[in-house]
Structure 1
Amino acid sequence: MPFLHGFRRIVYEYQPLVDAVMCVLGTERGENQRRRDDEESISRALAELLDRESQSPVFTQGISYSLFRVADLGLVSAAKVLLRYGADLNFEDPVSYYNPLHIAVLRNKPDMVQMLITHGAEIDKRDRIHESSPLDLASEEADKLPCLRVLLDLGADVNAKDKNGKTALLHALASSDGLTVNNVDNIEMLLQRGADVNATTHDGETPMSSLIFLVKEALDSSTEDAKEIGHFCTRVAHLLISHGADPSCCLNAADGEEWEHSLTYTILENFDLLFPLTALLLQHGASFVCSHHSASYWTGQQLIFTRLAEALREPLDAAEVADVLAKAEVLLDLARICSPVVPPLFPRSQLPVLDQVSTHQPLLELYSKLEDQESQPLPLRCLCRRLIRRCLQPWPFEEKVKALPLPDRLKELLLPENSWTDRPGWDRFKPRRSPR
């Protein structure tokens, strides 16, 4: 028979052996069903078949592809028999170019993953089409967490990069949408095992830039989707910052000349819509100025007042006006308490101007309040609160504050955020208003 390659080779040369193996295992071609025989008798029957077929010129290819098939199904005992007869651990499926370890991860078969690796499968092997490693595949979906844990326990390189410079952490973030793919536990495990929080692809993509993209997606989503995406983004932001990411540093674009806005800038631009994440960053001690270009690039006060002016131009009722002003005051107060750098207030001449006196007045009143605060020394209670919170870092502080030998009233002073956490709607993202 002439040499046939690619998919045709499987069909015309060793497919009969593969079919025979799968029949012994109690499966029908294309179906994931097994006979209810015990594993020992199945393994014995499989060994008898392989003994009979061992002289076939396509024996190795046939049992290697059979290994791929049983890895797909998670049949560990059968896989061990095939390996004992010489199946190739790194056999590539000619259609998908995945090997048995890849397919075991994709089908979420952690026991199979462990067995293949302990028998010598290359743990960081990448497929030829997508350049994905087993760890990349395990990082992308929440249900693959058991496989992710096995791979990391057995020594997978958590910071290995594909041809584009993408690590498993970046794969996890790129596949996340906070809705159908909510893999925050995968992200947490990668970070706990040493994933580089500042990893950068050849195109300049970073974990923080991936998060910023998703935050912006929430602004253009439905109300319910924005809420779900917001919960995801807030959890991921907490993880990234807790592992050393700087949310206030602007991002260098791929060409090295342009700079993209930081996460802190992005959320302060829409603080009323992204309130829980804005508060979280400030509680974590995010800088109130660009940590790369300093106050010459942006300050938190400018961004909050600019957004406040935009919001007040919208057709808001009295309750909505009060709500957005209250959010602004809370965030400005959090910055005074938590941010390592709070710049001087910008000149009154730079205050956004609104057409109507009734809508401009709240801006003036808030600005005047900040002027008064800045003209006076920080009250002793604020200094003490700031110092104690810094000593209790990293965030969250609540359990640490509760453990302090202080009166309840002083504990409440140390946790001003508890006074607003129960306000309706302050715990979720909101999309931009549709034009009326």
Structure 2
Amino acid sequence: MIKEKVYNIVILNHHANTPDSTGGGRHYDLTKKLSELGHNVTVLASSYDNKKREYRFDEDVKETRYNENFKFVSIKTKPAYTNSVGRFLNYVNYKKKASSYDNYNVNPDVIIASSVHPLAWDAGYKLSRKYNAKFIVEVRDLWPLSMYEDFTGIKKKVVFSYFESLEKKFYNLADAIITTAPYAYEYMEQKYGTDRKKVFHIPHGLDIEEFDKLAGTSEDNLPSELNEVLNDCFCVTYTGALSKSEGLSTFVESAKFLKDHEDIKLVVVGGGPEKTRLNKIIKENKLDNVLMVDSQSKNHIPLILKKSNLLICGLMEREAFKYGISKNKFYEYMAAEKPIIFASNVRGSLITKANAGITIEPDKPEKLKETILHIYNNIDTLGREFAKNGRAYVEEHHTVQIITESFLEVISNSKKQ
């Protein structure tokens, strides 16, 4: 652990949140650990909750201190949006307000700008120039590549030209680049000639102690129907956003081939745009072996995972996935010490690497059924082995402590241009 120097760090993440809002996340956990080590950290986020379509605070700027070294700043970015145009204008407003924020106790010497959207890079660079600080770009989504399938024609050309210009500019200006995707450096090298030596892969991490604490809470916190199924059945469970990219229709459709196994239940916990479609599949096929449950508090997810028998995750084919992924869900699943099925062709499956389960091709419900039954029939041998391997892997590679050490190494070793 690097302890010689105390850093004054600013982290820009438009959608960063805290446990008292929507459950914390990468930068809350990172900042908490950095602050406990004596570093001064300020997080600049928007107070607009894009999921609930409302502001968390009425103030234009809401400052919350979690300890003497950790300040979380929520900026009221406008407009409140419900479509892509409003979202972009909100991003522009964040860039303007974040780059002009100046209520620091000590002038920052490190700026980390995270690409929940790349306009944060612009704001971060302006702050780095103002305070003569190191400028570190964090790439959590390869903009615009992550939107490759979402646009066509002239609209795609305009959107890609704009965001690619930001990529080229700020990859070049960055003193260091942190990516969550393990092979993102290939994209940067091939497309922009980015120096690989300044690109560092730091995946997501998990607060293991907090996860275990929450996994041990009372089951009375869960909906009665969910609790009953988790207690009485062999549950194959998905938790998270019900989005198209997760390939959840394949999961639900696999239930058609599992009707003869009355003790097996497929459990889907979450909300999102795919909910209507999934309910339609369930209704049309009379799938009484599938339980759909609305989104639960983030604090209840560890308990749900711990009470399940087998965990499922999927990803559709996307252009950006050829450079790998880092998915928070993986680390929660592994920490729960359960076998995992990953239905995806994504490069470098972490589930396979950790030997924490089985990776299969996406969009094949019958193959998924076969894989579920294979683990079901061997749950006390193969299933237990997968479960132990996953837990050991996340403890060794993906704790918040390890991720924090990696960030400090990048901060310490990067050279200001």
TM-score range, shorter chain: under 0.3
Higher relative contact order (CA 8 A, sep 6+): 2
More strand by percentage: 2
Q: TM-score, normalised by structure 2?
A: 0.25
The structure with more radius of gyration? 1
More helix by percentage: 1
Q: TM-score, normalised by structure 1?
A: 0.24
